[in-house]
Amino acid sequence: NIFIIEKKKTELYQELGLQARDLRFQHVMSIATRNNKIIMRMEFLKAVITPEFLLILDYRNLSLEHWLLNELASQLAGEGQLVTYSLPFEFRAIEAILQYWISKLQGRLNTLQPQILETLEALVDPKLLSVDRSKLHILLQNGKSLSELETDVKVFKEAILEILDEAEVIEELCLSKWTDPQVFEESTSGIDHAEEMELLLENYYRQAEDLLNEARELRVLIDDSESIIFINLDSHRNVMMRLNLQLTMGTFSVSLFGLIGVAFGMNLESSLEEDPRIFWLVTGIMFLGSGLIWRRLLSFLGRHLDPPLPPHVPAVLKKSQPAAGRVEIKTSLKGETFGLSRSTLTNQ
């Protein structure tokens, strides 16, 4: 049964027997007990659990109507996917809230993952010669959202781990133990209810761990893709620098042999300008010399910029031989002559 009530906080914490600080909203994640009541803070979601009811505070400001009206009631009644329907009410309430929060985190990851993969696929496309800045902006925003998700999952894990490390706190979470001890007899599976509470928390701790691993894999994929993008940009920049260097060397070669034309272009008289073939001869020498100098400069550039070839490995070293055989040859040929040693090695 779902009831909607409106009360002042002063009246509410007096009725529940809590302090004012217990109902204060804080953007933290914690699970604590006080006066046989469980206070759960899941950042913006705050709940108070008793053996009889579950109280969600200020649900309208958090847009929780769909969850409260359509999912929570059936879960607490044992009709949902929860496995604690045979246990006391506080078990079902705790699991319902934990399941809601882990589902919310999983939904955020499911929303981010396809967007990030699509953006990375567009950025690392080898057909593209430049990087789309709009895609980089989208990747930056998704990266920030992924970092926030990782932080939220880590905080969720730490909150559960803090309880798992304290056996007394786990005992206190079993509220019915202090009101009806007969309820906390051995269950049908032979496991104490305190142990079942620990198994319940460990289950959601493992789910949070799996969710964090998926987020980490996505983060590693982003880092690897960024490295690929930087490598492609460096490659394009190196190509442009090499082209610029080649053009500079070509200009130097033409300018060097262009001095011949400058010398013949001075207002000096000689016997060469009277010969009609001297123009083509000087022009041919200029172009031929410029081409040869440019060719030599390009070969020099190629020898110093291209990566060196790996050293040649002899075929004998590539074959794997037993170490015992090598040791036996060395010891048996230690005191023999050179010719006998060579024949023995050949036979071996």
Q: Do both 84 and 157 map to the same domain?
A: yes
Q: Do both 214 and 71 map to the same domain?
A: yes
Indicate the residue among 217, 236, 255 that finishes a domain. Answer: 236
221 domain residue, yes or no? yes
Q: Would residue 273 be called left, alpha or beta, if left means φ above 0 and alpha means ψ between -120 and 50 degrees?
A: alpha
Distance between CA 233 and CA 131 in Å, rounded?
Answer: 8
Burial of 85 (0-12, 13-18, 19+ CB in 10 A): middle
Closest CA to 72 of 55, 52, 50: 55
**Tokens representing residue 309 in the block:** 């070839």
pLDDT per residue over 176-186, tens digit each? 765 665 655 54
Strands 29-33 and 38-42: antiparallel
Residue 249, pLDDT > 70, answer yes
Q: Do both 223 and 261 map to the same domain?
A: no
Closest CA to 81 of 63, 100, 59, 105: 100
Q: Do both 170 and 255 map to the same domain?
A: no
Q: Do both 203 and 245 map to the same domain?
A: no
42 domain residue, yes or no? no
- Which run of H or E residues covers position 338? helix 338-347
Q: Do both 73 and 222 map to the same domain?
A: yes
More confident residue, 340 or 255: 255
Hey, what long-range contacts does 182-188 have (CB within 8 A, 24 or more apart)?
Answer: 183/88, 187/86, 187/87, 188/86
pLDDT of residue 191: 57
Q: What is the CATH number of the domain that holds 169?
A: 1.20.58.340
Least confident of 10-24, 53-67, 120-134, 219-233: 120-134
* Beta bridge mates, 56: 47
308 domain residue, yes or no? no
Q: Do both 286 and 196 map to the same domain?
A: no
3-class state of residue 49 by DSSP: strand
Q: Do both 286 and 147 map to the same domain?
A: no
Q: Do both 223 and 244 map to the same domain?
A: no
Say how far residue 315 (Cα) sits from the centre of its chain: 43
Distance between CA 296 and CA 292 in Å, rounded?
Answer: 6
More confident residue, 249 or 97: 97
Phi then psi dihedrals of residue 56, to 5 deg? -105, 125
- Pick from 50-54, 91-95, 146-150, 304-308 the range whose average pLDDT is largest: 146-150
pLDDT per residue over 260-290, tens digit each? 777 777 666 666 767 777 777 777 887 888 8
pLDDT of residue 321: 45
128 domain residue, yes or no? yes
113 domain residue, yes or no? yes
23 domain residue, yes or no? no
Q: Do both 292 and 206 map to the same domain?
A: no
Supply the mean pLDDT for the chain. Answer: 75
Distance between CA 152 and CA 155 in Å, rounded?
Answer: 5
348 domain residue, yes or no? no
Distance between CA 275 and CA 238 in Å, rounded?
Answer: 48
Q: Do both 201 and 152 map to the same domain?
A: yes
Residue 113, pLDDT > 80, answer yes
Q: Do both 149 and 95 map to the same domain?
A: yes
**What residue numbers bound the domain in which 294 lies?**
238-265+276-300
Distance between CA 308 and CA 302 in Å, rounded?
Answer: 10
Count of the separate structural domains present in the chain: 2
24 domain residue, yes or no? no
Q: Which residue has the tokens 């090499």?
A: 242
Strand blocks (E) in the chain? 29-33, 38-42, 45-49, 54-56
pLDDT per residue over 69-95, tens digit each? 778 877 777 665 555 667 788 888 898
